[in-house]
Structure 1
């Protein structure tokens, strides 16, 4: 593969984001109960978080974000999307999606959760604060849902062809809304602190950008590849030899 076909900016930004995530992970691990972001985290929680008596968190939009980071989202990104890409003849893109999902939500998210082990927001009903409204696993930092959202956002931009400027604008807008919406939903249900979600986005985007850089030459080949079912078949004579066009 030709390294010149790999945009260096993808690698630079990806590594920069991952370095920031590592630095924040070390800072949180040094004081899991009161990291340097705790003041902002507390203020955001008081503003956004709701209690079990509210029905906002069970609405259609919040539940879409909830399921995106759970089994339905895993099935979508680990099975359905790769299979569809493979059917379209874009098997390299399918491998890219699988690599991003395994490295981001799979490896980085769980590794940091176990290393940092930050407690989830705890209930303090006297202060009008509540704990997670849905079942959660251990470790609040980083948000696994946010890692998934960041990774998927990059996948959207990387895999959807920017045929026109408007298509790139729409794709980018959807990617941004996906990330912002995930931050909102995870803090709405008190599953994470604000800084957990921002670190999760950075981790997901960072991993996906680095792997985009790695897969860039293969993805370029897939973009110009015609799906097998749209290719024109050359007619052949009775003995199986292709017929030549005559003028």
Structure 2
């Protein structure tokens, strides 16, 4: 619901319709994610994608002697999926949104984080429990180059990245067409970069990272659809300090 204003007089709220396409897209992505999870669950040690994953690992994975894992870009992706990313999305961004008077958007951001990187990622990891890549000295392959927990499917970092991309996109008003287009382009690079970094350090199999992006996007789009009326109200609402500055200007 949102209020409209005609000739300076506010009228009763007008109901905002949620696009069904968003709902079907999110449910479709969720179905794909579940199908991938069931495929791995059927044989966690050697699922249907193992040949593809092995080939990608030989192509992209590196050993401890490589300088790439310590490269600033790789470290950026590493930290976005860990505590710094959690602080950014669970504390800093919601706090900024509340300070500018957009508490509904802040609730949306927190909800996505709890449902995606929180519930979906951890629940699936424990249910599927796919082993992570391990060292194979004969083939010249290495295991994870950073400390990791159990469960490789899905990549929690990828879930977090997809959640961040969709969350920021949802916070940009539909009227800001070029801002959305630029962010979508940046989002594609971020998604590809996360797949590269997680497989570079042998923390996940390739399909685990792709599934993480799909699962994170599914949850974020579903919550975007659910929160859409609130988000649009915030889009139409100018920040309190702008309204205060306008009110302080002398009338002519």
Under a length normalisation based on structure 1, what TM-score does the superposition of the two structures give?
0.92
Q: Which runs of 5+ in 1 are unaligned?
A: 236-242
Matched residues in 1 for 2:235 and 2:177: separation? Answer: 17
Structure 1, residues 22-53: CA drift from partner, whole Å, max 9, x if none?
Answer: 11111101101111111110000000000000
- Which aligned pairs between 1:225-244 and structure 2 lie closer than 5 A? 225-232=237-244, 234=247
Matched residues in 2 for 1:21 and 1:165: separation? Answer: 29
Q: Which runs of 5+ in 2 are unaligned?
A: 2-13
Paired residue for 1:148?
A: 160
Paired residue for 2:93?
A: 81
Under a length normalisation based on structure 2, what TM-score does the superposition of the two structures give?
0.90
Structure 1, residues 150-188: CA drift from partner, whole Å, max 9, x if none?
Answer: 111101211123544432221101111111110010000
Matched residues in 2 for 1:157 and 1:220: separation? Answer: 13
CA RMSD of aligned residues (A): 1.7
Paired residue for 1:40?
A: 52
1:109 to 121, 128, 141: 121
Runs of 4+ in 1 over 3 A off after TM superposition: 1-4, 162-165, 232-235
Structure 1, residues 99-137: CA drift from partner, whole Å, max 9, x if none?
Answer: 000000000000000000000001012211000000001
Distance 1:170 1:19, change over 3 A: same
Aligned residues: 238
Considering fraction of residues, name the structure with more strand: 2
1:180 to 178, 189, 192: 192
